[in-house]
Chain A
Amino acid sequence: DTGVSQDPRHKITKRGQNVTFRCDPISEHNRLYWYRQTLGQGPEFLTYFQNEAQLEKSRLLSDRFSAERPKGSFSTLEIQRTEQGDSAMYLCASHGQGANYEQYFGPGTRLTVT
């Protein structure tokens, strides 16, 4: 499978717990994005990596959120001290350099904070 994969697909956690999500982009893609999608809304940009460097973070990414992309391969998104407002679908997307600017999306991780 050469698509973008995300793990887990679903996560239910209690308020105050920490959670970590993983994204594996398409192997030759050097750019990786995280988006958050709440019910009835379009995805909103959270953060962006070019290789291992995190180049931009949205104001939506509070101090409780941290993302990494060690070695420019997979990426993790951690949420500390989860709140009910963090409940959403977290989407990962990747694309490479060149003429094809299509972002390929993963299936998402649906987080429910109870």
Chain B
Amino acid sequence: AQTVTQSQPEMSVQEAETVTLSCTYDTSESDYYLFWYKQPPSRQMILVIRQEAYKQQNATENRFSVNFQKAAKSFSLKISDSQLGDAAMYFCAYRSAWSGANSKLTFGKGITLSVRP
């Protein structure tokens, strides 16, 4: 079974600064997807960024980028130029890439990010 670990329960960042959220995972599969989801208070979960395990290049989406280290099973999220609207709970998630598999997501416990003005 796959597991996802987010060991930092909370982080804080000054507006306009950069912050990195950590995530590690464990799997015996060679092909999979990794995701970061954002869940603002009382609002629905939205996808921030996605990484395919077969791709060596790290994914980027505007101010968001990942550092994917497959051998180390590490998948961190970097938020540059932090904005007040980035304050939310962030979840790291894993999904098998096997086409016959249930595409369920396995989530970490999440990290609460606060942004100081």
Contact residues of A with B, CB < 8 Å? 4, 31, 33, 35, 40-45, 48, 55-56, 91, 93, 95, 101-103, 105-108
Q: Closest A-chain residue to B108, C-beta based?
A: A42
B47 proximal to A (CB < 8 A): yes
Which residue of the partner chain, among B44, B50, B103, contacts A107 with CB atoms under 8 Å?
A: B44
Q: A82 to B7: give the CA distance in the assembly, Å.
A: 32
Least CB distance from A75 to B in Å reads: 15
Q: Closest A-chain residue to B95, C-beta based?
A: A101
Contact residues of B with A, CB < 8 Å? 4, 6, 33, 37, 43-47, 50, 91, 93, 95, 102-110
Which residue of the partner chain, among B43, B45, B106, B109, contacts A40 with CB atoms under 8 Å?
A: B109
| Interface pair B103/A101, CB less than 8 Å apart | yes
| Interface pair A101/B104, CB less than 8 Å apart | no
Q: A56 to B96: give the CA distance in the assembly, Å.
A: 15
Chain A residues whose C-beta falls within 8 Å of the C-beta of B95 in the assembled complex: 101
Q: Closest A-chain residue to B47, C-beta based?
A: A102
Chain B residues whose C-beta falls within 8 Å of the C-beta of A95 in the assembled complex: 103
Chain B residues whose C-beta falls within 8 Å of the C-beta of A55 in the assembled complex: 102
| Interface pair B44/A106, CB less than 8 Å apart | yes
Chain B residues whose C-beta falls within 8 Å of the C-beta of A48 in the assembled complex: 102-104
| Interface pair B43/A107, CB less than 8 Å apart | yes
Chain B residues whose C-beta falls within 8 Å of the C-beta of A41 in the assembled complex: 109-110
Given contacts A41-B110, A91-B45, contact A103 B50 (CB under 8 A): no
Chain A residues whose C-beta falls within 8 Å of the C-beta of B102 in the assembled complex: 48, 55-56
Least CB distance from A100 to B in Å reads: 9
| Interface pair B110/A42, CB less than 8 Å apart | yes
| Interface pair A105/B109, CB less than 8 Å apart | no
| Interface pair A102/B50, CB less than 8 Å apart | yes
Least CB distance from B45 to A in Å reads: 4
Given contacts A56-B102, A101-B95, A102-B50, contact A108 B44 (CB under 8 A): yes
Least CB distance from B48 to A in Å reads: 11
Q: Closest A-chain residue to B33, C-beta based?
A: A101
21 A-B pairs in the complex with CB atoms less than 8 angstroms apart: A4-B44, A33-B103, A33-B104, A40-B110, A41-B110, A42-B107, A42-B108, A43-B105, A43-B107, A44-B107, A45-B106, A56-B104, A101-B33, A101-B50, A101-B95, A101-B103, A105-B46, A106-B44, A107-B43, A107-B44, A108-B44
